[in-house]
Amino acid sequence: MTLDNKPIYTGGCQCGAVRFRVEGALAGASVCHCRMCQKAFGNFYAPLVTVRQESLTWTRGEPKRFRSSNHVQRGFCGECGTPLTYEAPDGIALAIGAFDAPETIAPTVQFGVEMKLPYVDSIHKLPRRLTEEDVEASTFLASIVSYQHPDHDTDTWPREEKS
C-alpha cells in the first residue's frame, strides 16, 4: 500500500492487542545473532528493520518494554509476548516477523555473528515437509481453531466470538 507515493507498512503482535503503521521507507533490514537478541526473541537470531521514529505510529495499544541493557529497551506485547521492538539511542527497529507482509522485507546484513549458533547456516539442508504431510498429527491439525490476529488491520480487538 502507498500514500502519496510513500510506502505504508502495517503489523502487530500475534493476538492483535498491539498494532503499528510505518509510513515511508524502511532501512537497514538485518538479523542479529548476539546472545541478547537470541534470548529476546527466543530464537536463533532476531530479524529487525530500522524505522524512523516519526514514521512509526502505534495504532492499537503500545508495547510493554524491558530494559535489556543500559542502552537498549525491547518492546513486546504484554498480552501475548510477541517481540516487537529494539529501541536504542540511535533509533528504533521493528521485528520483521511482526509485519503483515514480512516477505517484503529481506535482511541485507548479519550482526553479532560471533555468537551465531553453529547449525544456523545448515538449516536449509534439513529435510523439508509441508505441515499437512505430518500424517500422525493430521487429526490434531484439522481440529485447530486459530485465535491469531490476521495479517491486516481490523476495526475491533479482540475478535468477537461467534455464538
Instruction: Answer yes or no: is 155 within a domain.
Output: no
Instruction: Answer yes or no: is 97 within a domain.
Output: yes
Instruction: Answer yes or no: is 159 within a domain.
Output: no
Q: Is residue 163 over pLDDT 60?
A: no
Q: What is the pLDDT of residues 51-93, one digit of tens each?
A: 999 999 999 999 999 999 999 999 999 999 999 999 999 999 9
Instruction: Answer yes or no: is 73 within a domain.
Output: yes
157 residue type, one letter: W
The domain that holds 23 is classified in CATH as 3.90.1590.10
Mode of pairing for the β-strands spanning 109-111 and 27-32: parallel
Cα–Cα distance for residue pair 78/91, rounded to 1 Å:
22
| 125-162: burial string, b at 16+ Cβ within 10 Å, e else | eeeeeeeeeeeeeeeeeeeeeeeebeeebeeebeeeee
Instruction: Give the global pTM.
Output: 0.88
Residue for cell digits 514514521?
A: 55
Total of domains in the chain: 1
Domain carrying residue 96? 2-142
